[in-house]
Every structure is written in C-alpha cells, then in structure tokens.
Amino acid sequence: MKIESQKYNDVMVLRLQGDFTGETLKSLEDETSNAFAAKVSGIVLDMNKVVFMDSQALEYMVDLTEQCRENTRQLKLAGLDETCTKILELTGLLPQFDTYTELTEAVKSFA
C-alpha cells in the first residue's frame, strides 16, 4: 500500500492507495505515529484509492480510533468506496467511524 501524508492546518491527511491489509500496516502505523508526534488535532484516512481491506486492517482502524480518543484527537474516514463501506456495514463497524464522501468535507469538519 502506498501512503502520502499532507498536513492541512491542524489535520493530518493520510492518502492510502492499494490493498489495506495486515501485510501493509507497518507503513500506516509509522505515518500515524508521525501524526501523533506532530500534535495534530485529527487524522483523516483518505480511502478513495483503497481497493481491499482485510480483518487486520479493520482491527487497526478500530485501535486507531481508540488511540485518537485517548490522545484527544479524532479519526475520520473519507472517500470510502462501495466495497469498503459494505465491509464496514457487514462487520457492524461503520457506526464507529465518522465517514465523509469527500476529503474536503472531512478536513473542514475539524473547523
């Protein structure tokens, strides 16, 4: 999975591209650690180019949500495609996340 990070004001956007699996988690863990170190108020995972998520990715997203809460930060998801949305619905995880259709909406929601 390829990850690009960009800071918008006090929000770190992580653009994910490719398969989001247990095998690709290390790079995302590194990027989220950098975001916490940068003391941003929130993190947006731009999932617009994610084509697949496995159970380890789902578990990490739940853990990341908890880490954000513990550190008085917020996690938001943007650009979920139909497949990823369905995976979150079927697993009952969708209500645990703040989701936005567009990245700009997710970033603006922190204002």
Model pLDDT for residues 51-91, shown as the tens digit of each residue: 899 999 999 999 999 999 999 999 999 999 999 999 999 99
- CA dist 21 and 18 (Å) reads 9
pTM over 0.85: yes
Position 111 scores a pLDDT of 83
Q: To which residue do tokens 């975001």 refer?
A: 35
Position 107 scores a pLDDT of 97
- For the stretch 1-48, pLDDT in tens is 999 999 999 999 999 999 999 998 999 999 999 999 998 999 999 999
CB distance 14 to 34 below 8 Å: no
- Write the CATH number of the domain with boundaries 2-108: 3.30.750.24
Sign of CA dihedral 70, 72, 73, 75: positive
Across the chain, mean pLDDT equals 94
What are the residue boundaries of the structural domains of the chain, listed by start?
2-108
